[in-house]
Amino acid sequence: MSLDWTTLALEMLNFLVLLWILKRFFYAPVLAALDARQQRLRDQATRATRTQAEAAQLKTRYEERLADWQREREEARRQLEQELVQLRTSGMAALEASLADEEAAVRARAAAGAASHEAALLREAAEQAYGSAAAMLRRLASPQLTLCIAAMFCEDLAALPDAEQAALRKAAADLAAGAAVEVSSAHALDAAARDRLMAALAQAAARPLTAAFRETPELVAGLRVAVGECLLHANLADELAFFKSRGAHA
């Protein structure tokens, strides 16, 4: 247990050599690697912090954008609802107007149909009445009735209105020389009846007239006198045709 100075000196030297070797080839690279790694970690932490901040900023921006979109959507929906309400209101108004027009048209068509039907019924009734009256008058027709109608015609000629009387006289005046008045009767007239008729015609026309008598059974009863262009009716067939035409116009 003695202290050897040679060993002491060599051990000190050995330790210093070992210290240099380890410092040069072990501690330096290890510490450099640790520093580099720590620096890398710090850089990564810095980048992560920056990225996190950017992400938070982006998140805030997107949230604001989403809120804007939400507001725009709500606004668009409200506008759409308003437009829909307006469209529905206007559509309902148009529909009601259309329905009213349609109803009026239907009513008009119904009224027209009813009127047409009523007119058809009236025409049918007139036809039936005409047919019944014609049948009844044909059964009542006789030479005496024709004579009675001729007598009544003569009375009417005497009381002829002025306008018709003027027209008769003008037609009589326009007759060509030698032309005769055509007198058609349902039954043959006797001479007395013919004379009374010609006398009444001459008085109404204010001039003497010649007549050509002809028997026309289609007149049923009565007579028809043609003075030029002036035609005088006093027979049942023309009266029935007149009523028939009036019934058709009604």
Partner 1 sequence: MSDGVLGASVVWQIGPFGITDAVITTWGIVAGFAVAALLASRCWRPEPARWQTAAEAVVAAIEAAIADVVPRAAVRRLLPFVATLWLFILVANLAGLVPCLQAPTRDLSTTAALALLVFGSTHWFGIRIRGIRGHLRHYIEPSILLLPFHVIGEISRTLALAIRLFGNMVSLEMAAMLLLLIAGFLVPVPLLMLHVIEAVVQAYIFGMLALIYIASALEPTERDAESAAASQTNEEKS
**Interface residue list for partner 1 (CB under 8 A):** 1-12, 14-19, 21-27, 29-31, 33-34, 36
175 within 8 A of 220, measured Cβ to Cβ: no
What is the SS3 assignment for 149? helix
CB of 30 or CB of 121, closer to partner 1: 30
- Contact of 150 with 232, CB cutoff 8 Å: no
Q: Which is nearer to partner 1, 41 or 95 (CB)?
A: 41
User: Rounded to an integer, what distance in angstroms lies between the CA atom of residue 159 and that of residue 157?
Assistant: 5
Q: 119-154 burial, b for 16+ CB within 10 Å, e for fewer?
A: eeeebeebeeebeebbeebeeebeeebbbebbeebb
Query: Rg of the chain's alpha carbons, rounded to an integer?
Result: 65
Quote the CA–CA distance of 188 and 144 in Å, as a whole number: 10
To partner 1, the closest distance from the beta carbon of 49 in angstroms equals 23
Between 26 and 242, name the residue whose CB sits nearer to partner 1. Answer: 26
User: What is the residue whose two structure tokens read 């954008």?
Assistant: 65
- Rounded to a whole number of angstroms, the minimum distance from the CB of residue 38 to partner 1 is 10
Beta bridge partners, 232, equal 225
- Distance of closest approach, residue 35 Cβ to partner 1, in angstroms: 10
Closest approach of partner 1 to the CB of residue 28, in Å: 8
Minimum distance from residue 52 beta carbon to partner 1 (Å) = 26
CB of 45 to partner 1, least distance (A): 18
Distance CA 54, CA 51 (A): 5
Which one, 9 or 180, has the nearer CB to partner 1? 9
CB nearer to partner 1: give 15 or 69: 15
CA distance 249 to 247: 5
- Between CA 26 and CA 21 the distance in angstroms is 7
Least distance CB 32 / partner 1 (angstroms): 9
Distance of CA 105 to the CA centre of its chain: 8
Closer of 35 and 215 to partner 1 (Cβ): 35
If residue 232 lies in a helix (H) or strand (E), which one and from where to where? strand 230-235
User: Which lies closer to partner 1 via its Cβ, residue 38 or residue 203?
Assistant: 38
